[in-house]
A and B are shown apart, each in its own frame.
Chain A
Amino acid sequence: MTMPYYVAPEQVMKDRAEYAQKGIARGRALVAAIFDQGILIVAENASRTLHKISEIYDRVAFAGVGKYNEFDQLRVAGIRHADTRGYAYSREDVDARSLANLYAQYLGQVFTHEMKPLEVEILVAELGATENDHRLYHIAYDGTVVDEERHSVLGGEADVIAGRLLQAYRPGWSLGEALRACVSCLAGPERQLGPSDLEVGLLSSGNGRRAFRRVAGEELSGLLAG
């Protein structure tokens, strides 16, 4: 009988982190930013039907990058959590923080206990009553949660894009300005992204009870043209 090799726990964690990071870096990035009417989320996504950005509840949206089947499972679990909570208590009792914590616990548990970590990074966004109450929870593959202030970048080359966004960001900008800046940050200096390369969703108080809506088609082209 052969004995299993001893591997230091540090090494195990490092290997898993590297594995997850590699998987995430292969996919395209996603940017979220606060604008004057709410929260804008822009993803590079050539598919019209396999969404990276979705509605979770009245004022909560979800966005994920990495492996589609893995973050989509998390998206559905999020909708289930929100709907059961809203049904058991009341619609006002559903918030992004409790969902972000659940995601973080689950991702952390999978990262430490399972063979393979989830190759995903997710964002839970919540529209607040005022601009200061908007929430952006960025959750990494190992369960690390970051409560981001004004904007958030997920996915491959996140650091570079975040650097560009930090430069471009202006408090109180309009939807059009925010969208164009986010798209140029995603594209970088060498590339151009058109409406067919993008998936755009937003949470805005102007949309009634269900604050989430998608921006696509002519509206998207119009906003990009400025």
Chain B
Amino acid sequence: MSLHLFGAVDDPGPSFAELWRRVRPGTPLPAGESLPGDVRHATTILALRYAEGVVMAGDRRATEGVSIAHRSLEKVFPADRHSAVAIAGAAGPALEMVRLFQTQLEHYEKVEGALLSLEGKANQLSQMVRSHLPMAMQGLAVVPLFAGWDLRRQLGRIFTYDVTGGRYEEADFHATGSGGRDAKTTIKLGYREGLARGEAVELAVRALYEAADEDAATGGPDPLRGIYPIVATVGADGFTRVPEEELAERFRAVLARRERAGGTTGGDLT
């Protein structure tokens, strides 16, 4: 390794991705072929706003074709102190994208001595998704979900993406991945403006439960193995993982609600 020094003209600036391209040119991808066999896929993720920030959650299952490849995969990560990123799609490139994104945000912060704005972070992720498009065309699509606390505007914001790197801001909530539709519908029915933290966490947990109920690729809570979804909140005080005991408790509440409704439906909405 040598010291990475550049002239004023070709300096990569505070961009880690640009720096990485200069110092470690990667192997080019085989063009126009799709991969043989099944690749690990990560599934349902969601985010919703509450009074003091955003809740982000994801189930723990990874699938390879019709088999379960992993039971405790983590899909929700802190991007930096005040934002979170969750992934759905091909797990390998998605996890790599998260690592690059985390490194990029920290790199910028250290080199510039200042934080990127939340919108700046969202745009950075958009560029990463776009540069991944050739692989997405080969069937390895990565669709992240990004949410964070906007320090300047003092509010929680949610951004969604498509495979082309298109970036869309959501007003209140979003869910994506194979169980995304079911999760989103559940949130839609239970959502209202200004939810308290506890209510928002419970709604997230409930949405994942309903998604797992309908979608084979989404994992539900697994009390026998002690595996629960990852749920995190991002507010003015930063990224916080919701502790497992609390999630277990919330799941019991969701189950109790179902039981009251006879066990086959989700139960009362509020």
Contacts and interface: CB of A to CB of B under 8 A. Distances in A.
A98 interface: yes
Interface string A73-97: 1001101110111111000000000
A80 B6 CA distance: 11
Interface in B120-176: none
Given A54-B113, A79-B110, A79-B111, A86 B5 contact: no
Contacts of A76: 111
Contacts of B113: 49, 51, 54
Chain B interface bracket (under 10, 10 to 19, 20 to 34, 35 or more) = 10 to 19
Contacts of A54: 110, 113
A142 interface: no
Which of B3, B20, B99, B111 has the most A CB atoms < 10 Å from its CB? B3
Interface stretch (B35-43, B100-108, B189-197, B202-210): B100-108
SS class, residues of chain B in contact with chain A: helix
A205 B43 CA distance: 36
Contact of A83 (B1, B2, B16): B16
Nearest to B11: A76
- Of the candidates A77, A80, A86, the one having the most CB atoms from chain B within 10 angstroms of its own CB is A80
Contacts of A181: none
Contact of A86 (B2, B103, B111): B103
B24 interface: yes
B225 interface: no
A102 interface: yes
A102 B3 CA distance: 6
Interface in A88-131: 88, 98, 102-103, 105-106
A153 interface: no
Interface in B1-48: 1-5, 16, 19-20, 23-24
A85 B24 CA distance: 11
A56 interface: yes
B18 to A, nearest CB: 11
Given A55-B110, A79-B110, A79-B111, A84 B24 contact: yes
A77 B3 contact: yes
A73 B4 CA distance: 10
Contacts of A56: 110
Given A54-B110, A55-B110, A88-B24, A80 B4 contact: yes
B23 A84 contact: yes
Contact of B4 (A51, A77, A87, A105): A77
Contacts of B5: 73, 77, 106
26 contacts: A49-B113, A54-B113, A56-B110, A76-B111, A77-B4, A79-B107, A81-B1, A81-B3, A81-B4, A83-B16, A83-B19, A83-B106, A83-B110, A84-B4, A84-B19, A84-B23, A85-B1, A87-B99, A87-B100, A87-B103, A88-B24, A102-B1, A102-B2, A106-B3, A106-B5, A210-B106
Interface of B: 1-5, 16, 19-20, 23-24, 99-100, 103, 106-107, 110-111, 113
Q: Which 8 A-B pairs have the closest CB atoms?
A: A80-B4, A102-B3, A77-B3, A79-B110, A83-B107, A106-B3, A87-B103, A77-B5
Interface of A: 49, 51, 54-56, 73, 76-77, 79-81, 83-88, 98, 102-103, 105-106, 210
